[in-house]
Amino acid sequence: MGIAVTDASVRPTRRDYSLIGRDSRLAVENGLAAAEWYHTDVPRKQMKELMKRSDGPAIRDTVIWIAAFIVSAAGGIWFWGTWWCVPFFFVYGVLYGSSSDSRWHECGHGTAFRTQWMNDAVYQVACFMIMRNPVTWRWSHTRHHTDTIIVGRDPEIAVMRPPDLVRLVLNFVGVLDAWQATVDMVRNAAGVIGAEEATFIPESERPKAIRVARVWMAIYIATATLALALHSWLPLMLIGLPRLYGAWHMVMTGLLQHGGLADNVTDHRLNCRTVYMNPVSRFIYLNMNYHVEHHMFPMVPYHALPKLHDLIKHDLPAPCPSIWAGYREMIPAFLRQLRYEDYYLRRELPPTAKPYREELHQDDRMPAAAE
């Protein structure tokens, strides 16, 4: 299953993840930036059917989502001060700090609803909850799809090599992530766009990012002021803190997307992972467990991904049968990457699949041998 540097004398390659550093330059020189990616052949008629937009599924799921917010928030407020509030805030936290991740993502693609203003409305609300500037992250995610897990190009690589395991664990409670988001928000609100942000946000869009950051700052200041006035944590339990105590599901599912897989390749079958999951997680995650499929065909709405999976699975590596199975292969890979940064899990293709184009994926920095 894995590819390892088997010769301990081979020095691992140090990666430079900066978007304005050495590997960024190398990716452009080596043709890895904005490259042509592999796509499974799907007849146009079937692809059109899969790409078709409809408001129905997303309206249904959004109504359930909002109702769950209202019930869990009401229960949390009602039982505040007793242990009975815990299960309500558990649910509220996951909705706020995890399900918002998949909502900003899907609505940012414009694929959740057919009606664009509905995508925009949910996108803005979800971005606020997950603390991702809607302008910055629209552009960062665009780059993530252009240059998925290309070192120096992709701004959304969750686990860099060698993996920082402390950071990884702390992210389950959002601590470092939310702190970084706060720093970014304050900086943007002060009218400053960072050098790395400037590599993917066009100049014309930057004032919008600054405006949003200022509105968000005002909301957080108002919430904190209310908490002080009431001498209560309750306002912060509803706005702000759930980004921490509810982040665990987002991190649990998000790490599986690319964790331990190849970098610097141009075939999503090598750097994305599809994982079968329970229906509750799939609702929270809006079917992003079909991650190879999503990256290969980002135009397909979340509700059509299971159909797309059935259609193209003959050409994809076998999916992980569960979240648990995903972690069972990913964690040992992270541990090996601590010693051998170039180690990665190589996804085996079924005999029915078109083979990888190895000539596109031979990284001369990475002398590797099959296990």
Partner 1 sequence: MSEWIEACGADDVDEEDVIRFDHAGHTFAIYRSPDDEYFATDGLCTHEQVHLSGGLVIDDIIECPKHNGRFNYKTGEAKGAPVCVNLKTYPVKVEGGKVLIQVG
DSSP-assigned letters across all residues of 243-290: HHHT-HHHHHHHHHHHTTS--S-S-HHHH--BB---HHHHHHHTTTTB
Instruction: Give yes or no for a contact between 246 and 94, defined as CB atoms under 8 angstroms apart.
Output: yes
Residues 312-371 that bind partner 1 (CB under 8 A): none
Which of 258, 161, 158, 156 lies closest to 197 in space, CA to CA? 156
Using the rule CB under 8 A, is 145 a contact of partner 1? yes
- 300 vs 323, beta carbon nearer partner 1: 300
Q: Of 8-16, 48-56, 63-71, 160-168, which part binds partner 1 (CB under 8 A)?
A: 48-56
**Residue appearing with tokens 């999916």:** 319
Using the rule CB under 8 A, is 302 a contact of partner 1? no
Using the rule CB under 8 A, is 264 a contact of partner 1? no
- 134 vs 152, beta carbon nearer partner 1: 134
Beta bridge partners of 2: 345
Using the rule CB under 8 A, is 124 a contact of partner 1? no
Instruction: Give yes or no for a contact between 247 and 174, defined as CB atoms under 8 angstroms apart.
Output: yes
- 112 vs 129, beta carbon nearer partner 1: 112
Question: Using CB under 8 A, which of 62, 102, 111, 148 touches partner 1?
Answer: 111
What gap in Å lies between CA 231 and CA 214, rounded to an integer? 25
- What minimum distance in Å lies between the beta carbon of 292 and partner 1? 16
Using the rule CB under 8 A, is 187 a contact of partner 1? no
Using the rule CB under 8 A, is 114 a contact of partner 1? yes
- 114 vs 361, beta carbon nearer partner 1: 114
Using the rule CB under 8 A, is 303 a contact of partner 1? no
Residues 190-209 that bind partner 1 (CB under 8 A): 202, 204-205
Using the rule CB under 8 A, is 167 a contact of partner 1? no
**Residue appearing with tokens 């940064």:** 341
Query: How big is the CA angle at 36 (ends 31 and 38), to the nearest 5 degrees?
Result: 130
Q: Encoding tokens for residue 203?
A: 């100049």
What residues contact 125, with CB distance under 8 A and at least 6 apart?
100, 103
Using the rule CB under 8 A, is 113 a contact of partner 1? no
Residues binding partner 1 (CB under 8 A): 34, 48, 51-53, 109-111, 114, 116, 135, 138-139, 142, 145-146, 202, 204-205, 297-299
